[in-house]
Structure 1
């Protein structure tokens, strides 16, 4: 955790009809001083989409050798590596070499589209790589230091509910 990080506590109630996964997770997440509220909320969304007993939210922006989230097997090998934003080729190559599956979630359409147009062809050589764009207008309004969030996932669409409002998140598969 970086000095000056803000600690957020999240109670995340997940009802994922697509995976038949129903669980409540108590999450403590550090928000790096340079991390936006939108990006922190996207880390929570990525967690909800892949929630399991072994999925871990890592240091995020402050962890250079770690993704935003990962899931390791019981032997310590990385099964799933999840990053957010516009990942550079060197980082993606390293992630694909270390993990069985790599997923990059983008969330700022203008910047992400330019990144994908510039790098998408190069990234095609990575066979264990997936890129998805998350459309989540207004998600930052749900951010607080203490959050109680309910997530419903059905047909790839995620509905996020809190006392501060509701947000629907759709996924667009890019690769």
Structure 2
């Protein structure tokens, strides 16, 4: 954890009906001083929506060889490279080569993100998934964060339902393809 980082804790109840994943866990996120609350919320949502055995957060802004979130199997092989925000094409290309699958979660305009990759090499571009959240939803979630949070995440048919510290929020998880 970097000096000046803020620790934010989440007691999470996850019910991802679309993937058949149900679990309860506690997350501790270190929010770096240069990280916006919106980026941290997107990172949190990416973790929850990709949750599986072996998932972990990357080293953060100081680590260039790891994504924001990744999954490794029991042998240490990276199986999922999950970027957050608006990564450049070269980073996504390298991540797609390093892992069995790659995904990007963004609170930015997905059309602009995809346009920034046009004409640039993207390994397995046809398999790359970009998932986006409406910025108003992300800002609403960010405005409700406390140092300790109770979070219930439910996903069904692409709809995201959150219960955060007593507030109910919903959003559609939009899915886009790079190719």
TM-score, scaled to structure 1: 0.89
Change (3 A) 1:120 1:169: farther
What is the count of residue pairs matched by the alignment? 173
Structure 2 portions without partners, runs of 5+? none
Query: What pairs up with 1:95-114 in 2 under 5 angstroms?
Result: 95-109=95-109, 112-114=110-112
Structure 1 portions without partners, runs of 5+? none
Q: Report Cα offsets for 1:42-100 as digits up to 9, x if no partner.
A: 11111111112311122332321111111001111110111111111221121111111
Distance, in Å, in 2 between the alignment partners of 1:60 and 1:167 is 27
Query: What pairs up with 1:123-162 in 2 under 5 angstroms?
Result: 126-127=124-125, 128-135=127-134, 137=137, 138-162=140-164
Question: What's the RMSD between the two structures over aligned residues?
Answer: 1.8
TM-score, scaled to structure 2: 0.88
Change (3 A) 1:58 1:124: closer
Distance, in Å, in 2 between the alignment partners of 1:46 and 1:27 is 13
Distance, in Å, in 2 between the alignment partners of 1:46 and 1:156 is 14
